[in-house]
Amino acid sequence: MTAIAGLVRLDGQPASRAALERVQGVLAPYGPDASQSWLRESAGFVRTLLRITPEDSLDFQLPYDAASGTLVLFDGRLDNREELADDLGIGGAELATLADGMLTLRACLRWDDGTPSRLLGDFALACWQPSRRRLWLARDPMGARPLFWHRHSDFFAFSTMPKGLFALPQVPRELDEEALHDGMCLLPMTGPRSLFKDVWRIEPGQVLTLEQGRIAARRYHDFDTTRELRLSSDDDYLEGFRHELERAVARRLRSRGAVASHLSSGFDSATVTAIAARQLAERGGRLLAYTAVPREGYALPSPRGRYGDEGPGARAVAARFPNIEHVLIRSGAVSPLKGLMRAMERLDRGPANPCNQVWIDAIEADAVQRGARVLLTGQMGNMTISYSGEPYLSELLAHGAWGEWWRELRALKRHGSRRWRGLLGASLGPYLPSWLWRATLPLRENGVSAVTSYMAINEAFMARMDSPRRIRAAGWDTTCQPWGDGRKMRIAVLRRMDWGDSSAAANAAGLEMRDPTADLRLIEYCLSLPGHQYLRGGQTRWLLRRLMGGVLPPEILGAKERGLQAADWHEGVSADLAGLKAEWQRLSEHPTVGRYLDLPALRKILDDWPEEGWHDHRVIGTFRMKLLRGLAVGAFVRYVDDRNS
């Protein structure tokens, strides 16, 4: 993986080498293995490289074509090298000498800004065509790699991370209040806004072009909301699924070092781990598998429907594969405040879940120490391989298939832990008027409709931002009213967040995060399947259960409850109560934090610290979510302002 940045002067003045060196310096932690720069007249570009794949050992210079003057900066991993080589007429012997960036240059020379639609993998790239004074930037459709830009009256600049832009003194480091508000409200990331004023993100699946001083953006990829695959048998659907999933995992095993994976007791990480272990075993490779578990002897109750130790289920998976080295990570005694500043330095934002950041950091550090360069995840699995299929109930009603709907409803009640109320809500909820759905919220356990229940946001800030209008405009229902179209729901969730900065942050730890469940071809296959492939005979995740039935143990396949990550999170937090109060004091003394946070509400939470009841949903929502997220937001605001001063 790579961090890239560039500067194009719009006023005809030469690009500053000193400016490029500053940018290169702040991006160095994301690519410590090598760095290069390129400076010609009014344009300059830099790259810092973290060598992950075998082909990265071939990468010694910025891809440049002397005949046309075209320069490419490539950050990412190509998963269809052989396909591209065939299309470009590149033979196998020559392909073996090309790094991914050089192969991308060859593609850009052939297809220009049509290149991104032909690339498969995680990537962000920039292509400079000096003869046309033209620069174009692009990100992959899933946004696995980040890219930001800034337009000044005298220049245009881009960078993998915002901090690269702030190395230029003309780029202000100021919060974008609208983006901050939307992030605090957990609204979908729509449009190009970032958390910083006048710093914009290239959106996933987008090409942005700067030509003769003019900027234009277009989408080159959109998911199809209507395409439905029609095959002759269930086995045909299953074989297609097997093919795409196996390939998605195989594409993500290229590594110069060891391969590791997250392994919880859930379907997604267990599936990814099992398939990766099997494929690595075929070539004599081993797999490190990591499970975050509570301290030994932890026996406090878990919330209803959850269990607090994912170790036994994960251990049962690992036991089936002799080449898995299973590592348990116990980090509950660590305060989320400990790594908060480091996380912000790497992310250029506050962590979304400070509790989870503790064990994520611990896993990454241990994996690097053991020689891993790749860490597999199953982040998008719920919307792809392990999609439950529950919206199929409402789809059956919409198509008048009342008999089939009733059979599935009764079967779900027999097989699952859902109550009739929940099943009827999933079936009828999409068709209720919004006011009527909101009226049912007090009747539903854990129903949440108010933003202030999960974020300590200042109500005056919400009024100034006109939160109800922004929430409506974002098209995201904070009352969690069910969707009537499972395909559209999954596409909306897949687009909701931009995880590119998390990917870059892992690079700063020395790793590349790879998610087979976010493979574009796998996603498009999963989206194309009819609902009856996911919900059948009262079994949710029917397709994945069939595929992994002989592979995963009963502890995974037959689980009626879900594992709870970091079940002992409250111990590290409680032990650092004095530190939390000290952080609150720093925030309360800051001149701007109080504009955004409800500091009195946070203080009340700290003063009402419980001795027990940590399994209660309301306690978790207040102390794990509202308090810790609020402190993280406040620390980020302080971090931005303090850097300016």
* CA 25 vs CA 156, 167, 383: distances in Å: 19, 9, 38
CA distance 24 to 7: 12
Same topology for domains 2-219 and 234-385+495-563, yes or no? no
Residue in 328, 370, 336 with CA at minimum distance from that of residue 354: 336
By the 8 A CB rule, do 351 and 343 touch? yes
pLDDT band at 439 (very low <50, low <70, confident <90, very high): confident
Residue 601 is inside which H or E element, if any? helix 599-607
Q: What pLDDT, on a 0 to 100 scale, did the predictor assign at position 417?
A: 63
Q: What pLDDT, on a 0 to 100 scale, did the predictor assign at position 416?
A: 73
Residue 482 scores a pLDDT above 60: yes
Q: What pLDDT, on a 0 to 100 scale, did the predictor assign at position 475?
A: 80
Q: What pLDDT, on a 0 to 100 scale, did the predictor assign at position 644?
A: 62
Residue 442's φ and ψ, nearest 5 degrees, are -60, -20
CA distance 88 to 410: 55
Q: What pLDDT, on a 0 to 100 scale, did the predictor assign at position 444?
A: 44
DSSP letter at 381? G
pLDDT band at 90 (very low <50, low <70, confident <90, very high): very high
Structure-block tokens of residue 188: 């979908």
pLDDT band at 112 (very low <50, low <70, confident <90, very high): very high
Q: What pLDDT, on a 0 to 100 scale, did the predictor assign at position 445?
A: 38
Q: What pLDDT, on a 0 to 100 scale, did the predictor assign at position 643?
A: 66
Q: What is the CA radius of gyration of the chain?
A: 25
* CA 645 vs CA 282, 294, 345: distances in Å: 56, 41, 16
Dump pLDDT digits (tens) for 299-332: 889 888 899 999 999 999 999 999 999 999 999 8
% of the chain exceeding 90 in pLDDT: 85
In the chain, what's the furthest Cα-to-Cα distance?
73
pLDDT band at 45 (very low <50, low <70, confident <90, very high): very high
By the 8 A CB rule, do 471 and 187 touch? yes
Rounded to an integer, the average pLDDT of 27-54 is: 95
Quickly list DSSP for 101-146: HHHHHHHHHHHGGGGGGG--EEEEEEEEEGGGTEEEEEE-TT--S-
% of the chain exceeding 70 in pLDDT: 98
Please tell me the least confidently modeled range out of 54-63, 198-207, 498-507.
Answer: 54-63
Segments in 252-349 forming alpha helices (H) = 267-281, 311-318, 340-347
Sign of CA dihedral 440, 446, 448, 452: positive
Dump pLDDT digits (tens) for 137-159: 999 999 999 999 999 999 999 99
Instruction: Check whether 498 is labelled as a binding-site residue.
Output: no
Coil, helix or strand for 36?
A: strand
Structure-block tokens of residue 535: 């919900």
CA distance 472 to 404: 34
Dump pLDDT digits (tens) for 490-524: 999 999 989 999 999 999 999 999 999 999 999 99
CA distance 104 to 98: 10
pLDDT band at 448 (very low <50, low <70, confident <90, very high): very low
Most confident listed range (29-33, 296-300, 415-419): 29-33
Dump pLDDT digits (tens) for 550-561: 999 999 998 888
Which residues does residue 527 pair with via DSSP β-bridges, in sequence order? Answer: none
Q: Which amino acid is it at 610?
A: P
Coil, helix or strand for 571?
A: helix
Q: What pLDDT, on a 0 to 100 scale, did the predictor assign at position 415?
A: 83
Rounded to an integer, the average pLDDT of 287-291 is: 98
Q: What pLDDT, on a 0 to 100 scale, did the predictor assign at position 645?
A: 55
Q: What pLDDT, on a 0 to 100 scale, did the predictor assign at position 446?
A: 36
Angle between helix 599-607 and helix 628-644 axes, rounded to 10 deg: 130
Q: What pLDDT, on a 0 to 100 scale, did the predictor assign at position 480?
A: 82
CA distance 60 to 72: 13
3-state SS track over 385-453:
CCCCCCCHHHHHHHCCCHHHHHHHHHHHHHHCCCCHHHHHHHHHHHHCCHHHHHHCHHHCCCCCCCHHH
β-strands 372-376, 512-514 pairing:
parallel
Give the CATH fold of the 2-219 domain.
Answer: Glutamine Phosphoribosylpyrophosphate, subunit 1, domain 1 (3.60.20)
Domain range list for the chain? 2-219, 234-385+495-563
Mean pLDDT for all residues in the chain: 94
By the 8 A CB rule, do 105 and 69 touch? no
* CA 278 vs CA 241, 294, 625: distances in Å: 17, 28, 38
Coil, helix or strand for 223?
A: coil
The class of domain 234-385+495-563 in CATH terms is: alpha beta
β-strands 562-563, 306-307 pairing:
parallel
Most confident listed range (132-146, 416-430, 432-446): 132-146
Rounded to an integer, the average pLDDT of 123-129 is: 98
Residue in 5, 363, 352, 410 with CA at minimum distance from that of residue 187: 352
Residue 447 scores a pLDDT above 60: no
Rounded to an integer, the average pLDDT of 367-391 is: 97
Q: What pLDDT, on a 0 to 100 scale, did the predictor assign at position 421?
A: 86
Dump pLDDT digits (tens) for 227-278: 999 999 999 999 999 999 999 999 999 999 999 999 999 999 999 999 999 9
Residue 335 scores a pLDDT above 70: yes
